[in-house]
């Protein structure tokens, strides 16, 4: 009988030795030490023994149970320690590794130019006006002294929504809204940046959507010299100190006289280079003195007041300033392009 105890003990110790995981070990525990386990089975067998043999047998079974329990507990501790070590290894966190960089969006170059222009005019006491991109023919053309048969009204240039409604072709529409709103009261000093639309085929220098900033000053004795001083100040702020500007005669229906404005080339300082095509000058905007008829239509007395106005294309300024040679870059949202304006990179 005691051989059987030895046999059970040996096979239990062997099974413990073989157990590779805590699960294996638990199975061994149930098999040998459980309520219906083999060691408990030995206890049951004691009942069948003669009285005098019972104490010795009982002691042996108990000794076997203690030995198996002790070895099993030791093995359990070993396996638990190994499992914890494996878990720690798998979840290893290297706190010295650099963190993931959070990618911030970048300021769009056109917004950068817009803000620069807004800042410089706010500093001169101008207010900033805003208005609708879906505009009435009346403000875009009629009040701007653009008669019905003017080529600028051609369907090819304008996105019409219905005969009286269109996508504004220039921010001059806002000049008209502001003049009308002032009801003949001066002074007026404002800029209006915003999107404008034309039925152009997109290429390196044309875009059916682009941005302009309109400027308008109306008051007593406002002269062409005021316009020139203002624009020269703007050119210096946008393109660096030392810029000069020149006026060339031009035509816009809403100004008289009208001028095209050139800035001395910031790349060659006016000596002539490939950007200014050797001329030393780069055209940047259109401007003029507000046409007396426009003042009149909007309720101002051209005998008592006068005004100047200008309209500058923001893409053109940005292209010159940042050396961009394709206007489509502003609208295709290629992150490689936009990232070049990342001030935090």
Which one of the spans 98-106, 119-127, 169-177, 241-249 is the region binding ligand DAH (CB under 6 A)? 169-177
How far is the C-alpha of 72 from the C-alpha of 32, rounded, in Å? Answer: 10
Contact residue for ligand DAH among 42, 311, 317, 319 (CB under 6 A): 311
Q: Between 192 and 221, how does the x/- string for binding to ligand DAH read (CB under 6 A)?
A: ----------------------x-------
CB of 214 to ligand DAH, least distance (A): 5
**Which tokens sit at 78?**
């070993």
- Total chain residues near ligand DAH (CB under 6 A): 12
CB of 308 to ligand DAH, least distance (A): 7
How far is the C-alpha of 266 from the C-alpha of 233, rounded, in Å? Answer: 14
Contact residue for ligand DAH among 310, 318, 327, 330 (CB under 6 A): 310
Q: Look up tokens 């290894």; give the residue.
A: 89
Does 135 bind ligand DAH (CB under 6 A)? Our answer is: no
Does 158 bind ligand DAH (CB under 6 A)? Our answer is: no
**Whether 212 contacts 287, CB under 8 Å:** no
The closest residue (CB) to ligand DAH is 311
Does 252 bind ligand DAH (CB under 6 A)? Our answer is: yes
User: Can you say how many angstroms the Cα of residue 51 is from the centroid of all Cα atoms in its chain?
Assistant: 91
> 200 Cβ partners below 8 Å, 6+ apart?
157, 206, 207, 208
Contact residue for ligand DAH among 174, 286, 315, 317 (CB under 6 A): 286
Which one of the spans 4-12, 177-185, 271-279, 281-289 is the region binding ligand DAH (CB under 6 A)? 281-289
CB atoms within 10 A of CB 256: 15
- Residue 50: phi and psi, rounded to 5, are -65, 150
Q: Do the strands 134-136 and 188-197 form a parallel or antiparallel pair, or are they unpaired?
A: unpaired
Does 141 bind ligand DAH (CB under 6 A)? Our answer is: no
> 15 Cβ partners below 8 Å, 6+ apart?
28, 31, 32
Residues at the contact surface with ligand DAH, assessed by CB under 6 A: 170, 172, 175, 214, 252, 255, 286-288, 309-311
């Amino acid at each position: 009988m005691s051989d059987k105890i030895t046999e059970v003990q040996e096979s239990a110790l062997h099974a413990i030795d073989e157990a590779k995981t805590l699960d294996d070990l638990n199975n061994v525990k149930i098999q040998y030490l459980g309520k219906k386990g083999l060691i408990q089975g030995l206890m049951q067998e004691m009942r069948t023994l003669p009285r005098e043999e019972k104490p010795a047998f009982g002691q042996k079974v108990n000794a076997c149970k203690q030995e198996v329990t002790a070895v099993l507990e030791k093995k359990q501790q070993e396996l638990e320690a190994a499992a914890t070590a494996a878990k720690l290894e798998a979840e290893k966190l290297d706190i010295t590794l650099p963190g993931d960089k959070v990618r911030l969006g970048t300021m769009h170059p056109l917004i950068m130019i817009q803000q620069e222009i807004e800042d410089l005019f706010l500093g001169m006491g101008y207010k900033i006006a805003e208005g609708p991109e879906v505009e009435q023919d009346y403000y875009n053309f009629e009040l701007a002294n653009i008669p019905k048969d003017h080529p600028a009204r051609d369907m090819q240039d304008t996105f019409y929504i219905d005969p009286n409604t269109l996508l504004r072709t220039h921010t001059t529409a806002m000049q008209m809204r502001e003049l009308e709103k002032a009801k003949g009261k001066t002074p007026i000093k404002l800029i209006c940046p915003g999107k404008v639309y034309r039925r152009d085929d997109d290429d390196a220098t044309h875009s059916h959507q682009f941005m302009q900033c309109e400027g308008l000053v109306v008051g007593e004795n406002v002269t062409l010299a005021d316009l020139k001083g203002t624009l020269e100040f703007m050119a210096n702020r946008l393109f660096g100190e030392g810029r000069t500007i020149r006026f060339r005669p031009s035509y816009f229906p809403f100004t008289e006289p009208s001028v095209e404005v050139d800035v001395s080339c910031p790349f060659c300082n006016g000596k002539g280079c490939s950007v200014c095509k050797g001329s030393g000058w780069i055209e940047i905007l259109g401007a003029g003195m507000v046409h007396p008829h426009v003042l009149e239509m909007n309720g101002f007395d051209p005998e008592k007041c006068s005004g100047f106005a200008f309209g500058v294309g923001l893409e053109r300024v940005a292209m010159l300033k940042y050396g961009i040679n394709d206007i489509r870059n502003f609208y295709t949202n290629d992150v490689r392009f936009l990232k070049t304006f990342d001030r935090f990179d």
